Structure 1
Amino acid sequence: MTQSLYIDSIVRWIIKDPGKRDIGFHEALALTREGKMAPLRNYIESQVFPSFDWRDKRWVNELTIKTIFMCLMNDNANYLMISERQTRTGYADLAMIVRPDRRSFQIKDILIEYKYIKTKGLSIKNIKKQSDKSLFELKQVQNFLKKARSQAKNMQRN
């Protein structure tokens, strides 16, 4: 309960407009129900990141991104949300385990591995104008995605 109140206060601080906040919750549902990550990611880029001052942005990392996701995806009715869940092969950045009493509802467990790539490390100009496709084709992005997939597969085996 305390975690939920804390997370709720963070999301209210980051996204002040209740209507915009509801859109974020809707996009989070698309991820939990349909496995669609892009709508939530686009929402975070367009609605959440602009709320940060440029001085804040230099400290952004995987934990920042995970916290934003946790705030928007908080669903205590269906999931037990665990940050840095330990398994035999390592740690899962964010695990959302379906509550035992909700297993009959075709809800799936969710495991998310976050990889934050600093834009300074990418040799690309006008990064904000690039399409998702062109960004996903970058070698450094491909390497991070490969590592995340490998970690997720190892977690599934445990």
Structure 2
Amino acid sequence: TDPPLISELADRFGVKDMLTATKDQPFLGSLMVYLGILTITGQDDMDDLELGVPNLVIRRLYVERIRDAILPEYEDRDIVRSAAKTFYASGDVAPLCDFIESRYWKVLDNRDYRWADELAVKMAFLVVLFSDTHYIMDSETAIDKGYADLSLIIRPDKRQYKLLDHLLEFKYLSLKDLKLTSEAIRAMDREEIKALPLVRGELDTANTQLARYRTDLEAAYGGKLRLHTHAVVGVGFERLVWESETGGCPA
């Protein structure tokens, strides 16, 4: 995902400036840097400033704010906690996907479809899986010459617990890509969706990427890693299909 860019930092944030300044990306980006919500992470090849989340505390605040907005009900959060615990310990993606399909995506408006892509799928999983207590969580993890979409690596002081390391790769296809309606895709079971040629192709691509990332991670961590990988394809804001691997064949 491309980082936000601004050409230069604004340095005036008085009351008058807040009321009269144009609230464009440079101003808002500068204000977020001033407040400590973003930080300068580098410069691009056009000398624009790249902005990013400064630390894990701020990242947690972002995720918690999104989760509170999308899942305000206690019952939903309780279901999410249970599904996430199951995933952490067993690698079973089904409860998470069931919840995202039936609850998370249902709160999105039709206008949100214009933002539908792999990032939307990744954000859904990041929100429901976020745990910086037990995991070192990273999005767009640099692995050799590639970038894994989402990684959950057990913290060194938590490896005595019944937890697994996880690596997830996300793909997205629109209903238009598949020439299907919402009603049609909802009526299909997951095996039927996985058998669609475009879906099968995206799963295969994700599995190939994950196999390469697995090799690099296992070389870096040695025998400590208990790695499960998960290729996930979102189909519109309707369905999710996946294949998980523990080192053998996808399941």
TM interval, short-chain normalised: over 0.9
Structure 2 distance, partners of 1:120, 1:53, is 18
Q: Which runs of 5+ in 1 are unaligned?
A: none
Shift of 1:134: 0.6
Moved over 6 A (4+): none
1:97 equivalent in alignment to 2:153: yes
Mapped contact 1:89–1:155 kept (Cα < 8 A): no
Which runs of structure 2 are paired with 1:5-154 in the superposition (5 Å)?
5-125=61-181, 126-154=184-212
- How many correspondences in the alignment? 158
Cα distance in 1 for residues equivalent to 2:176 and 2:81: 31
Question: Which structure features the higher share of helix residues?
Answer: 1
Q: CA deviation at 1:61?
A: 1.1
Alpha-carbon distance in 1 for matches of 2:142, 2:155: 18
Question: What is the Cα deviation at residue 155 of structure 1?
Answer: 0.3
* Percent of residue pairs bearing the same amino acid type: 32
Amino acid of the structure 2 residue aligned with 1:153: A
1:96 offset after TM fit, Å? 0.8
Q: Take 1:89 and 1:75, find their aligned partners in 2: how far apart are those partners?
A: 26
- Structure possessing the higher radius of gyration over alpha carbons: 2
In 1, the alpha carbon distance for the partners of 2:66 and 2:122 equals: 13
Q: Return the structure number with greater strand share.
A: 2
C-alpha distance in structure 1 between counterparts of 2:171 and 2:196, whole Å: 14
**8 Å contact kept, 2:90–2:164:** no
The aligned amino acid for 1:152 is: L
Query: When the two structures are superposed, what TM-score results if normalisation uses the length of structure 1?
Result: 0.94
The SS at the match of 1:105 is coil
Q: Distance in 2 between matches of 1:37 and 1:53?
A: 25
What is the distance in 1 between the residues matched to 2:79 and 2:113? 23
Aligned counterparts of 1:150 and 1:84: Cα–Cα separation in 2? 17
1:130-156, CA deviations, whole angstroms, 9 ceiling, x for partnerless residues? 111110111111111111111111001
Could you list the per-position Cα deviations for residues 24-43 of structure 1 after superposition, in whole angstroms to 9, with x for gaps in the alignment? 22112222211111211111
Q: CA deviation at 1:124?
A: 3.9
Bigger mean CA offset, 144-153 vs 116-125: 116-125
CA-CA distance at 1:85 after TM superposition? 0.5
Superposition RMSD in Å: 1.3
